[in-house]
C-alpha cells in the first residue's frame, strides 16, 4: 500500500476521540497523564454522556486538563477537587461529575476533602494519578514518594523516621462505607491501558446507577521528576512502585476484595 | 406585606436564603453564626423548595463546594465567622478570579486568632481590601438590623449575578444574635434547570452541548499579558460597582456640624449617641454605610465641605477610618473611636469620644 492508500477513510483503524481537543498535550513525552486523559474521554464518549459530564481539574501537571478534554470543566484549587465536585454534583445530581487529581493534590493538601467526599459516598468518580512525586513544581517529595526515593526535597532519599511513610490513600478510603468501587491500575502497557479503561467505564456506570463513589488510582510515571528516560521510568515503576502500590481491585460492589 | 416574624439575625439570613430561591447552602459551624446552618437543617428546605443544605468538613471545603456549584450556574451561599472566613480566603480569591456569583456571610467575632465569640468589626480590611491573594474586590453589604439581614440576601444574589462576583454580607455577633421583628420577603421560585441552562450556558459548566464551545471555570492564565488583561477587566468591573452600587443612609445630616460614620451595630449605637448629643444642643448626624465596597467616598467628600468633623465609629482598632480619611482628604478632622476584641462601645463612650476628639479638638 502506498501512503495515499493508507490514509483512505475506509482504512482507518483508530481515531482520536472527539472529546480530546487538538491542543498539543503539555505533558512530557512518555508521561502517563495523556493516556489517562484519553481513556477517560473515550469512556465518556462511548457512554454517550459528554453533554452531561462535568470534569474537575486539579492543581498539578494536569491543571490544564480542561485544555485537552472537550467537555465543560472546572479548575479547582490545590487539593479541593472533591469538594468542588461535591458542590457540582449536589446541585446537578443527574450530571456525571469526575475529578482528575495527582498524588500531591489528592493525598497531601487535599487529604481531608478526599476522605470526606469518600466518606459521604458522593456519587462521583475520582481518578487519582499517583506518580510518587510533585511533577508540576519540579519533582518535590509527595506523600506517595517511596522510602529511600530521591526528590528535590528528599535529595538523599526519603527518610521514613523524619518524613513518614508513603501514604496508601487508596487502601485508606477503601475502608470507608461510602466508597463503592476502589481499584488501582496503570497505563504503561497496552494491556494495562485496556484494563484501566474498563475500570473507568465501570466507575462511570456506577455513577449512572447512583451506587456511590468510584475511585481509580492509576500508578503512573514521572520521567522528568524521576530524572529517567520514559522506558527506564516505566521499568522503574514496575520494579519499585508496583510492589508498594500493588495493582488490582481493592473494593468491588461495596465489598473489600483485598 | 410578607409574613412578620420575631427572629435572630442569623435565622433571618437562613430563611431569606430559602425565600430568595437559593439552590444550595454549604457551611461549617462556628459561633456566633451556627444558627444559620442549624435553622436550615431544621427547616428542611429540600422539602420546601428543593434547596440543598450540606454541612461540609471545613470552611475550606464549604467555599470550594460553593465554587463548584456557582460555576455550574446555581445560586449558592455560605456563611461563617471570622476564623472560618479566613480559611475561606483562597477559595474566595478563586471565585473572584473565575468571576462566579455567590453570597458569603461573615458574622464577625473578635480576633486575632481564635479570639473571642463576642461581636467585632475587625474584619473590615479583610472584607473590603480583597482578603485573599491577588487584586480583587468583593461587593460588601453591611446590615444594621435583622430586617436588613433578611432583605440583603436577595439583593446580594442579584448583585452577585449582575456582576458575576462574590458578594459579602458583613455582619457581626450583635446583628447575628439579636432578635427583632422582621417582615419576611415572599418566596421566590428557584430557577429550573432548563432556565439555568438557557440563561448561563455562555459561561457555566452545565454540560457541553455539541453546538457550543466548552465552558471552563478557571482563574489560571499562564501568559502574564493575558492575566493582566483579565485583571484590567476585573478592575473595570469594580469601577462599575463604584459608579452604580454605592449605598448609604444619612440620618440628620442636613443641619449637622459633626458626622459619625459607622456601619452595622456601631451605626445602631451611634443613633443613641446622636440623640444624646442633640439633647445637649450638638448638631450630630450619622452617615451609615450600607456598602463598604464600593465605599461612598464622593458623598463623604462632599459632606466634608459643610461639616466640622467626622468620627469613624467601629468595633476595631481603626480600619474603616482609613477610608473615611481618604474620602475627607484633610478638609476637616476625621478621627477614630471604637472598643474592640469583643467589647462593644456604649453610646456614652462614643459621645465622650466625639466631644473630646472632634468637637473639643
Ligand atoms: C495552595 C497551593 N500550594 C502549593 C501549590 C504549588 N503546587 C502546584 S502543583 C503542586 C504539586 C502537584 O503534585 P501532584 O498533585 O502530585 O501532581 P503532578 O504534577 O505530579 O501530576 C504544588 C505543590 C499551589 N499551586 N497551591
Ligand atoms: S513532570 Fe512528570 S507528571 Fe508532569 S508531565 Fe512531566 S512526566 Fe508527566
Ligand atoms: Mg504527582
Per the CB < 8 A criterion, the answer to whether B104 and B79 are in contact is: yes
Per the CB < 8 A criterion, the answer to whether B228 and B279 are in contact is: no
* pLDDT value, residue B73: 98
Q: In 3-state terms, what secondary structure has residue B43?
A: helix
pTM of the model: 0.97
Total of domains in chain B? 2
Per the CB < 8 A criterion, the answer to whether B318 and B342 are in contact is: no
At B122, the pLDDT band (50, 70, 90 cuts) reads very high
- Alpha-carbon span A145 to A135, nearest angstrom: 12
Residue B225, in any domain of the structure: no
A85 shares contact with chain B (CB less than 8 Å): yes
Polymer length of chain A: 258
Does residue A1 register a pLDDT over 80?
no
* pLDDT value, residue A240: 98
Q: What is the pLDDT of residues B287-317, one digit of tens each?
A: 999 999 999 999 999 999 999 999 999 999 9
Residue B292, in any domain of the structure: yes
Mean pLDDT of B139-155: 98
- Alpha-carbon span B251 to B285, nearest angstrom: 6
Give chain B's mean pLDDT.
97
**Would you kindly state where each structural domain of chain A is located, as residue ranges?**
26-256
* Closest chain A residue to B100, measured at CA: A74
Mean pLDDT of B156-175: 98
Mean pLDDT of B238-248: 98
Last residue of a domain, one of B156, B175, B194: B194
Mean pLDDT of A27-49: 97
Residue B146 and residue B9 share a domain: yes
- Pick from A74, A96, A99, A114 the residue to mutate for testing the B interface (most B CBs within 10 Å): A74
Q: In 3-state terms, what secondary structure has residue B129?
A: coil
Residue B203, in any domain of the structure: no
- Alpha-carbon span A168 to A58, nearest angstrom: 19
Per the CB < 8 A criterion, the answer to whether A90 and A59 are in contact is: no
Residue B243, in any domain of the structure: no
B209 shares contact with chain A (CB less than 8 Å): yes
Q: What is the pLDDT of residues A54-81, one digit of tens each?
A: 999 999 999 999 999 999 999 999 999 9
By alpha-carbon position, which residue is closest to atom 2 of ligand 2? A222
Q: What is the pLDDT of residues A163-209, one digit of tens each?
A: 999 999 999 999 999 999 999 999 999 999 999 999 999 999 999 99
Per the CB < 8 A criterion, the answer to whether B234 and B308 are in contact is: no
In this structure, what CATH number is given to the domain that contains residue B341?
A: 3.40.50.920
Give the Cβ contact number of residue B285 at 10 Å: 21
Ligand 2 center to B98 CA (angstroms): 26
Residue B259 and residue B182 share a domain: no
Mean pLDDT of B136-145: 98
* pLDDT value, residue B39: 98
Give the Cβ contact number of residue A67 at 10 Å: 17
Instruction: Kindly write down the DSSP assignment for every residue of B204-215, as one continuous string.
Output: S-S---TTSPPP
Phi then psi for residue B119, to 5 deg, are -65, 155
Residue B161 and residue B30 share a domain: yes
- Alpha-carbon span A245 to A35, nearest angstrom: 20
Residue B258, in any domain of the structure: yes
At B87, the pLDDT band (50, 70, 90 cuts) reads very high
Does residue B319 register a pLDDT over 60?
yes
Q: What is the pLDDT of residues B5-39, one digit of tens each?
A: 999 999 999 999 999 999 999 999 999 999 999 99
* pLDDT value, residue B1: 59
Residue B315, in any domain of the structure: yes
B64 shares contact with chain A (CB less than 8 Å): yes
* HEC letters along chain A: CCHHHHCCHHHCCCCCCCCECCCCCCCCCCCCHHHHHHHHHHHHHHCCCHHHEEEEECCCHHHHHHHHECCEEEECCCCCHHHHHHHHHHHCCCCEEEEEEEHHHHHHHCHHHHHHHHHHCCCCEEEEEECCEECCCCCEECCCCCCCCCECCECCCCCHHHHCCCCCHHHHHHCCCCEEEEEEEECCCHHHHHHHHHHHHHHHHHHHCCCCEEEEEEECCCHHHHCCCHHHHHHHHHHHHHHHCCCEEEEECCEECC
Does residue A5 register a pLDDT over 90?
no
* pLDDT value, residue B236: 98
Interface A-B: count of C-beta contacts within 8 A = 125
Does residue A7 register a pLDDT over 90?
no
Tell me: cis bond preceding B32? Omega within 30 of 0 counts: yes
At A6, the pLDDT band (50, 70, 90 cuts) reads confident
| CATH 3.10.129.10 is right for the domain spanning A26-256 | no
**Chain B positions in Cβ-Cβ contact with residue A71 (cut-off 8 Å):** 208, 214
CB under 5 Å of ion ligand 3: residues = A 102-103, 131, 135
Does residue B2 register a pLDDT over 80?
no
Q: What is the pLDDT of residues B44-74, one digit of tens each?
A: 999 999 999 999 999 999 999 999 999 999 9
In this structure, what CATH number is given to the domain that contains residue B188?
A: 3.40.50.970
Domain of B83? Answer: 3-194
The answer to whether the CB atoms of A90 and B52 lie below 8 A apart is yes
Give ligand 1 pocket residues (Cβ under 6 A): A 59-62, 78, 102-105, 129, 131, 133-137, 142, 222
Does the CB atom of residue A27 touch ligand 2 within 6 A? yes
Does residue B361 register a pLDDT over 60?
no
Report helix angle B59-71 to B89-97, nearest 10: 10
Residue B28 and residue B110 share a domain: yes
Residue B185 and residue B38 share a domain: yes
Per the CB < 8 A criterion, the answer to whether A237 and A187 are in contact is: no
Residue B55 and residue B176 share a domain: yes
Per the CB < 8 A criterion, the answer to whether B259 and B286 are in contact is: yes
By alpha-carbon position, which residue is closest to atom 3 of ligand 1? A78
Ligand 3 center to A89 CA (angstroms): 26
* Beta-bridge partners for B171: B107
Amino acid at each position: 500500500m502506498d501512503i495515499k492508500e493508507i490514509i483512505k477513510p475506509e482504512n482507518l483503524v483508530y481515531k482520536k476521540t472527539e472529546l480530546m481537543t487538538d491542543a498539543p498535550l503539555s505533558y512530557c513525552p512518555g508521561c502517563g497523564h495523556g493516556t489517562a486523559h484519553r481513556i477517560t474521554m473515550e469512556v465518556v464518549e462511548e457512554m454517550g454522556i459528554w453533554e452531561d459530564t462535568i470534569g474537575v481539574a486539579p492543581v498539578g501537571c494536569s491543571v490544564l486538563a480542561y485544555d485537552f478534554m472537550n467537555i465543560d470543566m472546572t479548575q479547582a484549587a490545590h487539593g479541593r477537587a472533591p469538594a468542588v465536585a461535591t458542590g457540582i454534583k449536589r446541585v446537578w445530581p443527574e450530571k456525571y461529575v469526575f475529578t482528575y487529581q495527582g498524588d500531591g493534590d489528592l493525598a497531601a493538601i487535599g487529604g481531608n476533602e478526599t476522605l470526606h467526599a469518600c466518606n459521604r459516598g458522593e456519587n462521583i468518580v475520582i481518578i487519582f494519578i499517583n506518580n510518587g512525586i510533585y511533577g508540576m513544581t519540579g519533582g518535590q517529595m509527595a506523600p506517595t514518594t517511596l522510602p529511600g526515593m530521591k526528590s528535590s526535597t528528599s535529595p538523599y532519599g526519603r527518610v521514613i523516621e523524619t518524613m513518614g511513610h508513603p501514604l496508601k490513600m487508596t487502601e485508606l478510603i477503601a475502608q470507608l462505607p461510602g466508597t463503592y468501587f476502589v481499584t488501582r491500575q496503570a497505563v504503561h502497557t497496552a494491556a494495562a491501558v485496556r484494563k484501566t479503561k474498563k475500570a473507568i467505564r465501570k466507575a462511570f456506570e456506577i455513577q449512572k446507577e447512583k451506587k456511590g463513589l468510584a475511585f481509580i488510582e492509576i500508578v503512573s510515571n514521572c520521567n522528568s521528576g524521576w530524572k529517567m528516560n520514559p522506558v527506564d521510568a516505566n521499568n522503574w515503576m514496575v520494579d519499585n512502585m508496583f510492589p508498594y502500590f500493588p495493582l488490582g481491585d481493592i473494593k468491588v460492589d461495596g465489598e473489600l476484595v483485598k | 406585606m410578607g409574613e412578620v416574624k420575631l427572629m435572630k439575625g442569623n435565622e433571618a439570613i437562613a430563611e431569606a436564603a430559602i425565600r430568595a430561591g437559593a439552590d444550595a447552602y454549604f457551611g461549617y459551624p462556628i459561633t456566633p453564626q451556627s444558627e444559620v446552618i442549624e435553622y436550615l437543617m431544621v427547616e428542611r428546605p429540600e422539602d420546601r423548595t428543593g434547596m440543598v443544605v450540606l454541612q461540609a468538613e471545613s470552611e475550606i471545603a464549604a467555599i470550594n463546594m460553593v465554587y463548584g456549584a456557582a460555576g455550574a450556574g446555581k445560586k449558592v451561599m455560605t456563611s461563617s465567622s471570622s476564623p472560618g472566613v479566613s480559611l475561606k480566603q483562597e477559595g474566595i480569591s478563586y471565585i473572584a478570579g473565575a468571576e462566579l456569583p455567590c453570597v458569603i456571610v461573615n458574622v464577625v467575632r473578635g480576633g486575632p486568632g481564635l479570639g473571642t465569640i463576642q461581636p467585632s468589626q475587625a474584619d473590615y480590611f479583610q472584607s473590603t481590601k480583597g482578603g485573599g491573594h491577588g487584586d480583587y474586590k468583593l461587593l460588601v453589604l453591611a446590615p444594621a438590623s435583622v430586617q436588613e439581614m433578611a432583605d440583603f440576601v436577595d439583593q446580594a444574589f442579584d448583585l452577585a449575578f449582575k456582576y458575576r462576583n462574590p458578594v459579602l454580607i458583613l455582619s457581626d455577633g450583635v446583628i447575628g444574635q439579636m432578635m427583632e421583628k422582621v417582615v419576611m420577603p415572599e418566596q421566590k421560585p428557584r430557577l429550573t434547570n432548563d432556565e439555568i441552562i438557557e440563561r448561563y450556558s455562555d459561561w457555566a459548566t452545565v454540560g457541553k452541548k455539541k453546538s457550543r464551545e466548552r465552558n471552563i471555570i478557571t482563574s489560571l492564565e499562564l501568559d502574564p499579558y493575558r492575566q493582566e488583561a483579565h485583571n484590567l477587566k476585573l478592575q473595570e468591573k469594580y469601577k462599575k460597582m463604584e459608579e452604580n452600587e454605592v449605598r448609604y443612609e444619612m440620618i440628620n445630616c442636613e443641619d449637622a456640624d459633626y458626622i459619625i460614620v459607622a456601619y452595622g451595630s456601631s451605626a445602631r449605637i451611634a443613633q443613641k449617641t446622636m440623640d444624646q448629643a442633640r439633647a445637649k444642643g450638638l448638631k450630630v448626624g450619622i452617615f451609615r454605610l450600607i456598602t463598604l465596597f464600593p465605599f461612598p467616598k464622593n458623598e463623604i467628600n462632599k459632606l466634608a465641605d459643610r461639616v466640622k468633623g467626622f468620627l469613624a465609629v467601629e468595633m476595631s482598632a481603626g480600619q474603616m477610618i482609613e477610608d473615611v480619611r481618604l474620602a475627607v482628604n484633610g478638609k476637616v478632622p476625621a478621627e477614630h473611636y471604637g472598643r474592640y476584641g469583643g467589647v462593644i462601645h456604649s453610646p456614652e463612650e462614643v459621645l465622650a469620644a466625639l466631644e473630646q476628639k472632634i468637637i473639643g479638638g
